[in-house]
A and B are shown apart, each in its own frame.
Chain A
Amino acid sequence: DTGVSQNPRHKITKRGQNVTFRCDPISEHNRLYWYRQTLGQGPEFLTYFQNEAQLEKSRLLSDRFSAERPKGSFSTLEIQRTEQGDSAMYLCASSNAGMGYTFGSGTRLTVV
């Protein structure tokens, strides 16, 4: 068990391009979360999966954002037609009982 793994660690993209991030949770955890953290702020909830089912989505998650968790294992977060306001750290976390998440190290997205 190596914790929550996120790839890539850094991504620089041009405005208007699509990007996809991957998260591999702790293997025995059935709950997976995506949060977004901007500079100087705390993380903000984006979406949550229990196994393969996406059970909740934040209003922050516009229709340009989509997340999947096929087979209840790894998850991907895709942002289409990126905008400069999407620049942030995207954090993935997993848990079993719902409390006490384990976060990954995040993917830092810079949109130029």
Chain B
Amino acid sequence: QQQVKQSPQSLIVQKGGISIINCAYENTAFDYFPWYQQFPGKGPALLIAIRPDVSEKKEGRFTISFNKSAKQFSLHIMDSQPGDSATYFCAASRLSSGTYKYIFGTGTRLKVLA
């Protein structure tokens, strides 16, 4: 019940294309779903996040789509750029002991071809 399943494991997209990464969770108690971007040798950086009362959230070229009934959410990167080449992690969490403790997916390595 604590797993977050992420797919695909790797993704190659042409510059200007749309990158789509999918995640699924089991625990319906989760109520916060962030996406993190990680470059080699760096820590993960928060990209965008969503709560389950919203079906879509957009920030610039990044959009999260959320399907509460299917317990799935996805990240769409529009107009993908070579600088977007990184590993992307979805996560799910719920309030526990006064904070949010994340369960991360296994990551998607994105390569955007110039």
Q: Do A and B bind each other?
A: yes
B1 within 8 Å of A (CB atoms): no
A48 within 8 Å of B (CB atoms): yes
How many Å lie between the Cα of A10 and that of B34 in the bound state? 28
Asked if residues B101 and A45 are in contact (CB atoms below 8 Å), the reply is yes
- With contact pairs A98-B98, A100-B49 given, residues A105 and B42 touching in the complex (Cβ less than 8 Å): yes
How many Å lie between the Cα of A99 and that of B32 in the bound state? 8
Size band of the interface chain B makes with A? 20 to 34
Asked if residues A56 and B96 are in contact (CB atoms below 8 Å), the reply is yes
A100 to chain B: closest residue by CB? B46
B109 to chain A: closest residue by CB? A40
Query: Helix, strand, loop or mixed for chain B's interface?
Result: strand
Residues of A48-96 at the interface with B, using a CB-CB cut-off of 8 Å, are 48, 50, 55-56, 91, 93, 95
B-side interface residues toward A, CB under 8 Å? 4, 6, 32, 34, 36, 41-46, 49, 89, 91, 93, 95-107
What count of chain A residues pass the 8 Å CB interface test?
27
A45 to chain B: closest residue by CB? B101
Tell me which residues across on chain B come within 8 A of A103, comparing CB atoms.
Answer: 36, 43-45
Asked if residues A105 and B43 are in contact (CB atoms below 8 Å), the reply is yes
How many Å lie between the Cα of A44 and that of B4 in the bound state? 12
How many Å lie between the Cα of A84 and that of B99 in the bound state? 31
27 chain-A/chain-B pairs, Cβ below 8 angstroms:
A6-B43, A31-B98, A31-B99, A35-B102, A40-B106, A40-B107, A42-B4, A42-B91, A42-B105, A43-B89, A43-B102, A43-B104, A44-B104, A45-B103, A48-B101, A50-B97, A50-B98, A56-B97, A56-B101, A95-B99, A98-B100, A99-B100, A100-B49, A103-B44, A104-B43, A105-B43, A106-B43
A-side interface residues toward B, CB under 8 Å? 4, 6, 31, 33, 35, 40-45, 48, 50, 55-56, 91, 93, 95, 98-106
How many Å lie between the Cα of A76 and that of B59 in the bound state? 35
Most buried by B among A6, A31, A93, A103: A103
Most buried by A among B34, B97, B100: B100
Tell me which residues across on chain A come within 8 A of B34, comparing CB atoms.
Answer: 99-100
